[in-house]
């Protein structure tokens, strides 16, 4: 990604990390988010010539999706400002100074209880209030991914992910990131993915990423071409799609055409029927959608002109069994009639 710029205030040849960041921001952040933030601080000393999200991902051994998630997280925390174009592509990052939290002093040198100089310590809110605040924060994150406001039922489901499925906040955020990335913002689909992860014992982002590698983005595009939404592909479907993509080397455009013809012919998403179409195309050397049109044209031409078919392919009809008997050249029908009358 070209044209990415970075700005902020930082000394040359040294990377300074504020105590405010260490004390109040770093502890709650995902380790990958911290890596990205620290690397951006490092780049303030000397911004690389090829500075881009792709380069950051390579340097930190992350994916561009990971980098994007980290940037959005720190923007939400108020540590940076992102500027993006109409397509949502980030083109500049401005690092902001970490917010200064109220300083504390001890009420008595021998007492370990800290007292704020600016305001009294808030009273304990309890686990329920903490969960409510976390849910509100996760709801805001989800709304950014889905680009709409969540309703109360969807907010409750996020709490269900956290309290009953025991998903961490990072895993819930990655859940939305994963589903949106593969092109599905439907909340029922997101819920089905969450349930699937829980059934497989997935509790961390790392485990979810490993599972996600089993489902390539093309798989969901093929399911969509079949009219299948709001679920992940089953193993048999994955086997078919993997064969079409990796063994047959078809583009998704060609596969989509086979899916549409399957629906038109059978009225339902039949992977076996689509496979028979694609197998036939493979045998005829089909590489692109334009090749399909040429094959169709030749097929229709043969149907319209049966005489033009290769005569060598026709099999001679077997002789009728009665031809094997010796036949008389002439029959005396008068004599036959007399014999019948006598009987």
* CA-angle at 191, arms to 57 and 166, nearest 5°: 75
Q: What is the per-residue pLDDT for 270?
A: 92
Mean pLDDT across the stretch 74-88? 81
Maximum pairwise Cα distance, the chain: 144
Q: What is the per-residue pLDDT for 284?
A: 87
Q: What is the per-residue pLDDT for 114?
A: 37
pTM: 0.43
**33-37, 77-81, 104-108: the lowest-pLDDT one:** 104-108
Mean pLDDT across the stretch 9-31? 76
Q: What is the pLDDT of residues 48-59, one digit of tens each?
A: 777 888 888 888
Measured in residues, the chain has a length of 343
Between CA 278 and CA 330 the distance in angstroms is 59
Between CA 26 and CA 24 the distance in angstroms is 6
User: Are the C-beta atoms of 42 and 15 separated by less than 8 Å?
Assistant: yes
* Structure-token pair, residue 159: 């709490």
The phi, psi pair for 83, rounded to 5°, reads -115, 125
Q: What is the per-residue pLDDT for 78?
A: 84
User: Are the C-beta atoms of 89 and 1 separated by less than 8 Å?
Assistant: yes
Rg of the Cα trace of the chain?
Answer: 35
Mean pLDDT across the stretch 215-234? 81
* Structure-token pair, residue 135: 């849910």
Between CA 10 and CA 20 the distance in angstroms is 16
pLDDT band for position 293 (cuts 50, 70, 90): confident
């Amino acid at each position: 990604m070209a044209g990415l710029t970075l700005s902020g205030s930082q000394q040359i040849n040294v990377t300074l990390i504020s105590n405010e960041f260490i004390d109040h921001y770093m502890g709650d952040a995902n380790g990958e988010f911290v890596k990205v933030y620290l690397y951006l601080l490092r780049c303030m000393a000397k911004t690389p010539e090829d500075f881009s999200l792709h380069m950051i991902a390579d340097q930190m051994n992350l994916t561009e999706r990971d980098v994007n998630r980290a940037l959005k997280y720190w923007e939400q925390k108020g540590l940076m400002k992102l500027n993006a174009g109409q397509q949502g592509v980030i083109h500049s990052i401005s690092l902001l100074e970490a917010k200064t939290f109220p300083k504390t002093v001890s009420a008595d040198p021998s007492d370990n209880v800290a007292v704020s100089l600016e305001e009294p310590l808030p009273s304990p809110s309890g686990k329920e209030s903490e969960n409510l605040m976390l849910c509100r924060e996760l709801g805001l994150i989800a709304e950014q991914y889905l680009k709409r406001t969540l309703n109360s039922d969807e907010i409750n489901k996020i709490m269900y992910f956290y309290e009953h499925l025991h998903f961490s906040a990072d895993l819930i955020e990655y859940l939305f990131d994963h589903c949106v990335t593969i092109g599905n913002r439907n909340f029922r689909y997101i819920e089905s993915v969450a349930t699937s992860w829980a059934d497989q014992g997935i509790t961390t982002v790392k485990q979810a990423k490993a599972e996600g590698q089993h489902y390539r983005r093309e798989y969901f595009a093929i399911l969509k071409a079949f009219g299948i939404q709001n679920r992940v592909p089953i193993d048999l479907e994955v086997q078919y799609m993997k064969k079409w993509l990796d063994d047959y080397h078809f583009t998704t455009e060609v596969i989509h055409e086979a899916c549409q013809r399957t629906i038109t012919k059978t009225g339902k998403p039949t992977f076996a029927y689509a496979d028979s179409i694609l197998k036939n195309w493979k045998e005829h050397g089909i590489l692109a959608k334009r090749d399909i049109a040429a094959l169709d044209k030749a097929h229709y031409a043969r149907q319209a002109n049966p005489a033009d078919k290769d005569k060598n392919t026709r099999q001679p009809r077997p002789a009728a069994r009665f031809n094997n008997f010796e036949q008389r050249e002439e029959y005396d029908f008068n004599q036959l009639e007399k014999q019948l009358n006598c009987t």
